[in-house]
Amino acid sequence: MRSILLFLSFGITQTVFSQNKNNLPDTISGYFKEIKIATNNQAKVWDKNLYGPILLVEPDSRKIYANFNDSAAVLKKNGNVYSGVLPKEQNIANTSIHWNGRDWAMILLPLSQNKHNRINLIAHELFHRAQPSLGFKLFTVDNNHLDKKNGRVYLRLELEALINAIQSKGKKDILRHLTNAFIFRKYRFDLYPGADTTENLLELNEGLAEYTGVLISNRKKPDIANHFVKSLDQFLRNPTFVKSFAYQTIPMYGYLLSTGKKYWNQEITIKTNLTDYFITSFNISIPSDLESIIKEISNTYHGQTIIAEEAAREEKIKKLIAEYKNKFIEQPHFDIRFEQMNISYDPRNIMPLEEYGTVYPNLRISDKWGILSVQNGALVSSPWDKVSITNPTKIDGKNISGNGWILQLNDGYLLSKDESNGSYKLLKK
């Protein structure tokens, strides 16, 4: 059994508190009030008010602020806010969790000073909290093809066409750019068989969550395009797109569709193919000869520049893959098997490592064996059954550390070194 927590705030810029710490409870209370009002005002989005238990967490101190109490009485009431300290076994992330008798939306502090951005982020996580009741599962599938050159090229071209549609005013221009966006998307699916399925699963999860956040944030119409432009610019700076692309695609497609079909999202089920749904809803015809059409339209969306940038990136990635393979596969290393794993990480900077799994530059794993914190890379296997890190350089009782990682070991476990190859593993006593 495993639980996966994702750090999911990359679509929203967070800034430092301007408020004095002494006024923090009042500030937090204000945050809870504004999201309560926003979700109530936008209850028609899912025909349900998504407001519910929320945990706002200070990552360094692990102090938590909540709008509800908990069943274990860890939280103490202070005015209109409940507060306490999150146990070290619990990972911290922008996510939804079950903790102390309740399902919570967890969000890291500090929040943005922009009200719409704050509401967007909290509403996104409240959607995840409500997902089961809305009929959706949490999908965490990989889309490793989006770390390959052509996968990235045709995603970027799709997004360029999409943002052009967002910024266009005439229906004819909007439809033209939308059609081209789907042409790039369909061609990507042709290049990578199965990509239509894996991308759809992530879009049903994170895409719908972010679209919900955008609607509940209730930005004024002139501000919507600016929001999408800023969000896309920030997204394109991410080292990888494999787990974050859905934050861009579904909110933009969804917003464009909502201008004529306001609550289209209520027609979506766990079985919906969103690409087909949008193509039908927009009444778009996709030509059969995609490759020839793409040659004609790519430069409208900076195609030559995108291809050149992605070719240069591919050469750098080849070198990085060789380094990671040496670090976690070929040379002696430390393997830790999962038992009841709970993991948090930043999906913006992960990197697929061929058939071996995925490298996470920073992550935190809690398990029966203890807590592992990594700041300089770790390889999680494809079957999600183990994590590999560099060999330990310091062993001090239950505190073990290596190059960029620290392991706090629980009772009942010990390190074992294989003298034949110099690698370590973790064993039960």
- pLDDT for 56-80, tens place per residue? 999 999 999 999 999 999 999 999 9
pTM, entire model? 0.92
- Whether pLDDT at 13 is above 60: no
List all residues 6 or more positions away from 63 whose beta carbon is below 8 Å from its beta carbon: 57, 83, 84, 85, 86
Mean pLDDT calculated for residue range 345-354: 91
Mean pLDDT calculated for residue range 262-268: 98
List all residues 6 or more positions away from 222 whose beta carbon is below 8 Å from its beta carbon: none
pLDDT at 139: 74
Query: How far does CA 200 lie from the centroid of its chain?
Result: 15
φ, ψ dihedrals at 74, nearest 5°: -75, -35
- Whether pLDDT at 359 is above 70: yes
> How many other C-beta atoms are found inside a 10 Å radius of the C-beta of residue 324?
18
Could you tell me the pLDDT band of residue 180, with boundaries at 50, 70 and 90?
very high
- Whether pLDDT at 211 is above 90: yes
Q: pLDDT for 74-103, tens place per residue?
A: 999 999 999 999 999 999 999 999 999 999
Percent of the chain with pLDDT over 90: 91
- Whether pLDDT at 341 is above 90: yes
Task: Give dist(CA 377, CA 374) in Å, integer.
Answer: 6
Tokens coding 29: 């209370």
Chain mean pLDDT for the chain: 93
> Which amino acid would we find at residue 69?
N
> Which amino acid would we find at residue 194?
G
Q: Would you put residue 73 in left (φ > 0), alpha (ψ -120 to 50) or beta?
A: left
pLDDT at 214: 98
- Residue in the structure block whose two tokens are 């398990």: 367
Mean pLDDT calculated for residue range 34-41: 98
Q: pLDDT for 17-31, tens place per residue?
A: 344 455 787 899 999
3-state DSSP call for residue 416? strand
- Whether pLDDT at 44 is above 70: yes
pLDDT at 22: 58
- Whether pLDDT at 423 is above 60: yes
Q: pLDDT for 282-335, tens place per residue?
A: 999 999 999 999 999 999 999 999 999 999 999 999 999 999 999 999 999 999
User: Is there a contact between 239 and 351 (Cβ–Cβ < 8 Å)?
Assistant: yes
Percent of the chain with pLDDT over 70: 95
Could you tell me the pLDDT band of residue 355, with boundaries at 50, 70 and 90?
very high
User: Is there a contact between 386 and 335 (Cβ–Cβ < 8 Å)?
Assistant: yes
φ, ψ dihedrals at 403, nearest 5°: -70, 95
